[in-house]
Amino acid sequence: MRRRTLLALPAFLSQPARARSGFVPTEQGIALLRGGGLNLYLRHAITDRSQSDTGRRGDRAAQRNLSAAGRAQAAALGEAFRRHGITVAEVLSSEVFRARDTAELAFGGARIVPSLIADDYTSGDARADAAEVSRLLGQTVSGGNRVLVGHIVPMGMILGRSLAQEEFPEGAIGLFRPSGADWRFLGFLAAGQLTGN
C-alpha cells in the first residue's frame, strides 16, 4: 500500500472503523524485522484504562499510564527483539509517558520527537504532526530498524483510515519499508506474535 494523503481530522474521526486482517504472518514478520532497514511504528504497551487523559503534557498523574501488564509487555517486547536477533538502529518516542515508558522498558530509552505526540496532547495541528511522522517513516535507515513509539490515532491518520483497537492493539507494530521520500506499509505484528504471549 502506498502512502495516502492525510485526511482532515474531523472527516477521519467520522469514518467508521473497518475491520481488516492486516497482520503479517509471524515467521514472515520476524524475517522482515531481522532483515533490517524498516521503520517500525510501535504503539505504546498496555495502559491502565481506569486512568483518564487530561491532555496535560509533562504531568504523569494526569495521563493514562502503562499498567503492570503493559510494563511487562514492553519488557517482553525488548527481550523478544534480542532473542530473535532484531537489530534496532534508533528509537524515537512520543513525549507522552506511556510511550516514553514503553521505549525505556523495551529498548533502554529513546529520543523524544515532538511530532510523535498523541493527537489529544498536541499543541499544534494533529494532521501536521502525523504528516511529519509520515515523512519520518519514509526516511531510510541503516544498521537495523528504526522504532517510533507512538499512538493509535496518528497511525490511522498516516494510513488514511480509522483503526479499530483490535486492528492495532496496544503493543502492536506497524511495519514500513522506506524508500527515502515515501514508504510502503507491509502490515501489523501484534506484540504476542513476537513475545509468544
Instruction: Name the one residue in this structure whose C-alpha cell is 502492536.
Output: 172
Residue type, 91: V
Q: Is the pLDDT at 79 greater than 60, yes or no?
A: yes
Q: At what angle do helices 97-107 and 68-83 cross, to 10 degrees?
A: 40
The three cell numbers of residue 135 are 515523512
Is 0.95 topped by the overall pTM? no
pLDDT at 2: 42
Q: Which residues contact 168 (CB under 8 A, 6 or more apart)?
A: 43, 152, 155, 156, 174, 188
Measure the CA–CA gap between 97 and 37, rounded to whole angstroms: 27
Q: Which domains does the chain have, with CATH numbers?
A: 9-49+61-195 (3.40.50.1240)
Considering only CA atoms, give the Rg of the chain: 15
What's the pLDDT tens digit per position in 109-156?
999 999 999 988 888 899 999 999 999 999 999 999 999 999 999 999
